[in-house]
Amino acid sequence: MLMPLMVGMPVFAVDVAALWSLLGYLIHGLVLGLTAVVVLNRAR
């Protein structure tokens, strides 16, 4: 939140680009979490 504020961008702007970015982060987290579960379960 600080970086957009420092460069003069609106902080809580919700537009299409912000939603796609959020979706990308959610998909990345889901894939990373599932990968961690699979790897940790194989280690047992």
- pLDDT by position in tens, the chain (length 44): 677 777 887 777 788 888 898 899 999 999 999 999 999 999 87
Cα atoms found within 13 Å of the Cα of residue 9, Cβ hemisphere only: 11
Give pTM, 2 decimals.
Answer: 0.66
At residue 13, φ and ψ (nearest 5 deg) are: -80, 125
Nearest 5 degrees, angle CA 14-CA 33-CA 12? 15
Long-range Cβ contact pairs of 15-21 (< 8 A, separation 24 or more) = none
